[in-house]
A and B are shown apart, each in its own frame.
Chain A
Amino acid sequence: GESVGLHLPTLSVQEGDNSIINCAYSNSASDYFIWYKQESGKGPQFIIDIRSNMDKRQGQRVTVLLNKTVKHLSLQIAATQPGDSAVYFCAEGNSGGYQKVTFGTGTKLQVIP
């Protein structure tokens, strides 16, 4: 079946460095992509999203890049902080009233103080 996947299961970065988390998706019909952060014992927390009519979107310290040609999504975190340590999931869905959102496998980000 179609799915969303990640290249790296674990990423360790030094505090203050930039982090890049990558994701590959295969459902070409998806037009909405989301990054979630999940800390231990909590539910997924929305970070940033992007629609298929854009290729870049910036938030506070985070940037999402979308490359529809190769079906690739990335999350960039600037000046990574210890509080950024968590599991990050990319997810794909569809614009509309309700969404069938499918999650990728997740990347654990470890920030080294």
Chain B
Amino acid sequence: DTEVTQTPKHLVMGMTNKKSLKCEQHMGHRAMYWYKQKAKKPPELMFVYSYEKLSINESVPSRFSPECPNSSLLNLHLHALQPEDSALYLCASSHNNSPLHFGNGTRLTVT
């Protein structure tokens, strides 16, 4: 088990659906991250939040909308996704000068 909890574990959605991915950590970390990982590829950074403020957006399409309601929670709102957006979405958190701690991800399939 990891200390970063992601829900749901699996999600299947149509291209017209709206869904949200959730991430939670209670380690007191003040930086939280979203990564996207395609099969047999390394994780790719999407967003970084630091102290609940968006610090990095790696030119991610607007159909992905992150939200950090508080220091323990991170959401990723999904709308009008494409089949090529199917991937494993990983959440991570970190404290100052510490390595990232990852959750086990949400496996997303867009039909």
Contact = CB atoms under 8 A, between A and B. Distances in A.
A and B together in one complex: yes
Interface of A: 32, 34, 36, 41-46, 49, 89, 95-106
A98 B94 contact: yes
A99 B92 CA distance: 11
Given A89-B42, A106-B42, A101 B100 contact: yes
B105 A99 contact: no
Contacts of A89: 42-43
Contact of B2 (A36, A41, A43, A103): A43
Interface range for B? 20 to 34
Given A43-B90, A89-B42, A97 B30 contact: yes
Contacts of B72: none
Given A41-B104, A43-B90, A43-B103, A95 B48 contact: no
B109 interface: no
Contacts of B105: 42-43
